Structure 1
């Protein structure tokens, strides 16, 4: 009969067993083989994963894009806007820049930069629109005098607008009272600007304006002079000419004035209009234009804000011709209303846009507008504002808006705008910045 061996006895027996060394080495070799097998399986699993990924990639298909998006991408990739703007030997086509509702305008433009040892730039253009509006202008500017501290501009403009819409003066005119009138004017202006600091510009401007108002040429609507009396619309029966001069100041810290995504631009100008023909239509005007841009997400998103006001003043027994009063309604202020829908001695407008980059060269936008016209400066407040909302697209070239499409909605309906400028375009300096219907 055999009895169990104690643990100590078993260890002594194992130690004196002659085959124990071979058994240990055999066990170690087995463990090494197991480990090697486990390591060999790991690459196999990695290979399987990689194979599965390759099979999935082979089955993937590119995202389908719409025909419209494909055309927009081709338009961007071929740099058509950049080629168009560059021109050939100083000549290039000029598109747009006609008054709102003037129709599609095109014409030749000649420009030369860097003349007089790089100090002078010149430009001249002539345009005609599909509605037979025309405009001719010429300009000379010297932006880098006195090592960039001084700038001088001279501008001459002739415009012929045969059918400007007019609903009467005041904030409550019904839209059914639409009439039209002819506006023809010529102006010559010069501006001298001083830049004492990087972001600050101070200047003086002087010029002369010849005006002519006549019967509207659009037979679909009554001519304004057959509906409104001189008491209702001053200057509708007789026109005058103006000697005008003014002063302005600008504080501009935008990151890129041509297509800002960050910073602000604040402009204020005071202008005296001297009626030197009839003597009863002299007035003074304060123009304020405040713009702010807030960029985020690496400036692919931008909130653009603007507040603009035109405030007029006259001496006793003086009047402001209706065509020299500010208008609201159209592609640049209240975009849900017809062009020139509201007209009075004073105006204010507020605009807000949220812009986002759809892809390089194309931005989307949603916007809200509010504003009003009013007869007295004391009515400058946020009561009784007209409003509109909408959305749009911005096609960009050379970091600026080349084409803009906006759709605006208001309680009077909706409007679609196709323009060749930014809605918050940099305000022009000089007395011609206050010219009617700019």
Structure 2
């Protein structure tokens, strides 16, 4: 009797184990079938396309000939061209390019960069640039200038210069530079006189000296989701031909990025203030003075919409990341220009707001597209860099 009972128990356990194995195999087969239908977990097709674009040779900056897209001068429209990049020993490089814009403005530029001198703490840059900017807008001086008062002039600067930047700490930079600057301007309309637009129609030559102190603890200047950037710059324009257009300028900038929820959301803030001070009996040429209105200063207004001796700009953005290579942003800009520094208050600011999309890599922004709304209408912005 005991032997019969033991045999029955063993048979029951064997049948139960076989049924359990069958159920496990059925579940595994069902999971494999679902996985085959859904596909392996990974980036979407859109993300794969964006990644292929971001790591392309055009954006990676390889040696040799490359196509160029950008802007010749603010307000001249989209431009295309070609360049040649040569990598040199010790991370140095030489780059030459030329481009033409939709309104026939032309840019020719050569750059040299040696970023890893003196144990990586010293960077030296050289620049040669010639620009022929057609139809540059001028609406008059002051915050009350009218949109209908727009005049245009052609602007042809030639510049040769160099800068040296010392980085004693990763977050601290001290730079100084010099440029020889030659400026030629031509009026498009007889009404654009020197009294209303200082410097227009004059042949100006400058010795330009500059110095900057910067503190930057962002992960990268081209794209970051945390950190801050603080800068103070002083520039002196000394006119060489004895014309009354010598002046000094100071510019102060603060950028702060506050990450939220593991950097999936970011609150971004920027403050920018520029002041200019002419020598006694001198004036500031309008083409070199501070302005508001562009894809990076008071979006929603036309390029160089407001011009005067001093300016103030405040910007705020709420950014979020729907994809690995795509950021979206809602932004607000507010700013003003003024003839005197004491008038740079928070009263009577011009404002604009909008929505933007930014395609980026880990440390750079490849394309920025924005729609901005100001009191004078809508503005559409395409740029190849982060706004701040």
With normalisation by structure 2, the TM-score equals 0.87
Could you tell me which residue of structure 2 aligns to residue 423 of structure 1?
A: 387
Q: How many residues align?
A: 385
Displacement, 1:209?
A: 0.8
Whole-Å separation in 1 of the counterparts to 2:163 and 2:306: 30
Instruction: State the distance in 2 between where 1:275 and 1:77 align.
Output: 49
The alpha-carbon deviation at position 50 of structure 1 amounts to: 5.2
Preserved CA contact (<8 Å) 1:82 1:397: no
- SS of 2:126's equivalent? strand
Does 2:293 correspond to 1:321? no
**What are structure 1's unaligned runs of at least 5 residues?**
1-24, 63-69, 217-224, 425-438
**Which residue, out of 153, 159, 169, partners 2:141?**
169
Q: Larger Rg: 1 or 2? A: 1
Counterpart position of 1:261: 225
Deviation, structure 1 residue 119: 5.7
Give me the whole-angstrom Cα distance separating, in 1, the residues matched to 2:368 and 2:208.
33
Change (3 A) 1:360 1:119: closer
Q: Does 1:200 align with 2:164?
A: no
Where does residue 93 of structure 1 map in the other structure?
67
1:168–1:228 contact (8 Å) kept in structure 2: no
Distance 1:89 1:122 in 2: 10
Q: Once superposed, which parts of structure 1, at least 4 consecutive aligned residues long, lie more than 6 Å away?
A: 44-47
Q: How does 1:17-416 map to 2 (within 5 A)?
A: 72-73=46-47, 75-79=49-53, 82-86=56-60, 89-115=63-89, 118=90, 120-216=92-188, 225-397=189-361, 399-416=363-380
Aligned pair in 2 of structure 1 residues 317, 88: CA closer, same or farther (>3 Å)?
A: closer
2:115 alignment partner, SS class: strand
Range moving further from structure 2, 194-203 or 333-342:
194-203
SS in 2 for 1:152: strand
- d(CA) in 1 for partners of 2:338, 2:149: 18
Cα distance in 2 for partners of 1:377, 1:256 equals 33
Q: 1:398 to 1:130 in 2, by over 3 A?
A: farther
- Residues 160/381 of structure 1: CA separation in 2 closer, same or farther (3 Å cut): same
1:353-407 alpha-carbon deviations (Å, 9 max, x no partner): 2222221221111111111111111222211111111011111145311111000
Deviations 1:300-338 (A, max 9, x none): 322222111110112321111111111211111111111
Task: Name the one with the larger strand percent.
Answer: 2
- The answer on whether the counterparts of 2:265 and 2:320 sit within 8 Å (CA) in structure 1 is yes
Q: Distance in 1 between matches of 2:78 and 2:55?
A: 18
How many angstroms does 1:236 deviate by?
Answer: 2.3
- Counterpart-to-counterpart distance in 2, 1:374 and 1:298: 41
CA separation in 1, counterparts of 2:242 and 2:154? 20
- Contact residue 365 and residue 391 of structure 1 kept, 8 A: yes
The question of whether the paired residues in 2 share the 8 Å contact of 1:82 and 1:398 is answered with no
RMSD in angstroms over aligned alpha carbons? Answer: 3.3
Give unmatched runs, 5+ long, in structure 2: none
Contact 1:119–1:145 (8 Å) recurs in 2: no
- CA deviation after TM superposition for structure 1 residue 422, in Å: 1.6
Task: Give the distance between the partners of 2:371 and 2:264, measured in 1 at CA.
Answer: 22
What is the CA–CA distance in structure 2 between the aligned matches of 1:310 and 1:82, rounded to whole Å?
A: 38
User: What do the CA deviations read for 1:40-76 (whole angstroms, capped 9, x no partner)?
Assistant: 9x959977x959x87x959x889xxxxxxx8844522
Q: Which moved more, 1:374-383 or 1:84-93?
A: 84-93
- Residues 408 and 96 (structure 1), Cα distance of their counterparts in 2 relative to 1, 3 Å cut: same
User: Could you tell me how far apart the structure 1 residues matched to 2:128 and 2:217 are?
Assistant: 29
